Structure 1
């Protein structure tokens, strides 16, 4: 992977969250959103020198904190900021119902500022090898068609890898047909286990059974994923880990990095917000590096582990070992995960 190549671009949102806890504590201006966490996941495995191969456009308002902007600049990605001088940034309210980050409610408190296809013109985002979307089934095909048309206009005829996670609120039985119609246009379809169950009208309790998750994922695979049917379904299943299934791959389950039976889980797992998005950014880079879906899943599982160790984003630092996140070398954690999960 040459430094000048653009490897990854997320077209998800950047959101400033207000987080309320049952004890009355309140956090404000917490960086979140699918685009932020997916970019984090990719950035973890593209350290300095390669970090510029991430092209990231964020659409912000007149109240976007300078401190967060400086933090994102410190990641060293090819960051482009689209500003709205007369509008606020996208903001959300996240309310936890208990003290262990379990049930929660989320709602947007300002109008959403998304990245549209017109914003991509004459930018390096059109050069990316992989795109990550969080989008409704009704919108993904339109957005993707527009992206591919823009790339064609600039002479980029090769197809990029498209990773799509369905927008959570669109995961309802009435949208199942639209999802099935959309998956042949993407290369990786990645709902989480609860979203997958919701699309089929199943109760959340059904996801306690891995065989049930497999049977639902198989329905999408049989319907067709990818333009030539060679795409994959990747189900992010929280404490169950992740399921990877493709036409040439029997169902493979990978464990989460922090497993429930591990003694350190309770101390290390702080907030699961953004873990699924971070998984997909790391998965994307893993697939570019290995061309192997299961190995990419290992990258994804490790990427998710860094997202859940705190509220908001992990801390980047450097020492004689090189770049660290939360004081840990990312590739050492990957090797540890591959060893303990039997992938080495």
Structure 2
């Protein structure tokens, strides 16, 4: 079975649902509030596990109630938490406002994630046995770089989601095999507003790029190839939180299973389309049989 390692964040998502998101200085009344386990690392781990992979999570939670629930959620989804450490203090939180169009705005408070600034004993051995290592930027870049370097030493494919958008160390990009930004992150990294131009510019830094385009689908480009645009299924979005992570987790599984790129992108898009029709991040992620039913070649 495919083995995916994930080095990244664990957050409790504190989600408020509103008709319209507030502007600066404005107060609005929400209609619902939920606490939902999330964090980009945990999201991608659960997405990959539900898509059919064996998954190992590397990261940290606090010794609070949120930490207990975050660990339990991963384990319930079949993710190995032997290398998820518990540290003194609060777990990470993400404060999310979701509007009626399914859009969201997010404030992340790192908490325990901020302590993950290096690899701990045993982490590299887990990475070495994986088919792919999934990375994001909700933990200190020093740890992300250490994980990518370890993967490179052992010939493991690295997949980096450059979120939250921020400057990325050249050493980290040099150790990245596949970069998966959304449109905003691609603009931030390159200054190019056109996705094709942004993807082409990113190929100076990494060998493969997938720019996610929301409801439009995704754009794939590799060195020496023509751009490949793969549309997403048309669905009514209820909540887009975690959709990008669902896409990345499913894509990593599909590529590790050696699906052709177009098929892998369509399969991942099917997973993401299912997730946006449901509330929450981890709570919305589909299982493999659901993806197979949604997927059309």
In structure 2, distance between residues paired with 1:109 and 1:75: 23
Q: CA deviation at 1:167?
A: 2.5
**Pairing 1:7–2:9 present:** no
Residue equivalent to 2:201? 219
In structure 1, distance between residues paired with 2:111 and 2:170: 31
Residue equivalent to 2:225? 249
Kept in 2, the 8 Å contact 1:56–1:125? The answer is no
**Pairing 1:197–2:187 present:** yes
Structure 2 counterpart of 1:272, from 240, 249, 258: 240
In structure 2, distance between residues paired with 1:329 and 1:291: 18
Q: CA deviation at 1:147?
A: 5.4
- Can you list the C-alpha shifts for 1:52-75, whole angstroms capped at 9, x where unaligned? x21123411122345554443222
Kept in 2, the 8 Å contact 1:44–1:303? The answer is no
Residue equivalent to 1:75? 77
Structure 2 counterpart of 1:294, from 262, 269, 279: 262
State the aligned residue count: 283
Instruction: Give the TM-score normalised by structure 2.
Output: 0.82
In structure 1, distance between residues paired with 2:165 and 2:126: 31
**Pairing 1:30–2:36 present:** yes
Q: Secondary structure at the match of 1:101?
A: coil
Q: Secondary structure at the match of 2:278?
A: coil
Residue equivalent to 2:294? 333
- Can you list the C-alpha shifts for 1:80-101, whole angstroms capped at 9, x where unaligned? 24112x31111121124x4323
- 277-286 or 53-62, which moves further after superposition? 53-62
Kept in 2, the 8 Å contact 1:180–1:220? The answer is no
Larger radius of gyration between Structure 1 and Structure 2: 1
In structure 1, distance between residues paired with 2:183 and 2:148: 28
- 1:1-344 matches, within 5 Å, as 1=1, 7-22=3-18, 23-46=29-52, 51=53, 53-65=54-66, 66=68, 68-80=70-82, 81-84=84-87, 86-96=88-98, 98-102=99-103, 104-108=105-109, 110=111, 112-113=113-114, 115-121=116-122, 124-135=126-137, 139=141, 143-145=144-146, 148-149=149-150, 158-170=154-166, 175=167, 178=168, 182-201=172-191, 206=193, 212-221=194-203, 223-225=204-206, 231-257=207-233, 259=234, 265-266=235-236, 269-290=237-258, 292-312=260-280, 313-314=282-283, 325=287, 329-334=290-295, 337-338=296-297
Change (3 A) 1:101 1:315: closer
Kept in 1, the 8 Å contact 2:40–2:136? The answer is yes
Aligned-pair Cα RMSD in Å? 3.1
In structure 1, distance between residues paired with 2:115 and 2:131: 21
In structure 2, distance between residues paired with 1:255 and 1:165: 20
Task: Point out where structure 1 has 5 or more consecutive residues left out of the alignment.
Answer: 207-211, 226-230, 260-264, 317-323, 339-344
Instruction: Give the TM-score normalised by structure 1.
Output: 0.71
